[in-house]
Amino acid sequence: MTLSERASEINEAVAVVRDPYRKVLHWLEINGYWTEAEFEDQRISDMELLEEMMEAHEALDEMTDANANELFAMKATNDGKLAETIKALEAKIAAIVEGQGGVCVVEDEALRLEHRDEVRENLEGDIQKLSLYRRLQRQIDDKEL
Could you read off the pLDDT of 94-123 as tens digits, one per residue? 888 777 666 666 667 777 777 778 888 888
Neighbours of 113 (CB within 10 A): 11
Q: How would you classify residue 88: left for phi > 0, otherwise alpha for psi between -120 and 50, otherwise beta? A: alpha
- The domain tally of the chain equals 1
Find the helix packing angle between 3-18 and 20-30, rounded to 10°.
110
pLDDT of 35 > 80? The answer is no
8 Å CB contact between 128 and 42: yes
b/e 101-111 (16+ beta carbons within 10 angstroms → b):
eeeeebeeeee
pLDDT at 62: 86
Give percent of the chain above pLDDT 70.
88
Domain containing residue 50: 3-142
33 burial (CB, 10 Å; 0-12 / 13-18 / 19+) is buried
pTM, 2 dp: 0.76
Vertex 101: Cα angle to 96 and 107 (nearest 5): 85
pLDDT at 103: 60
pLDDT of 36 > 80? The answer is no
Calculate the average pLDDT of the chain: 84
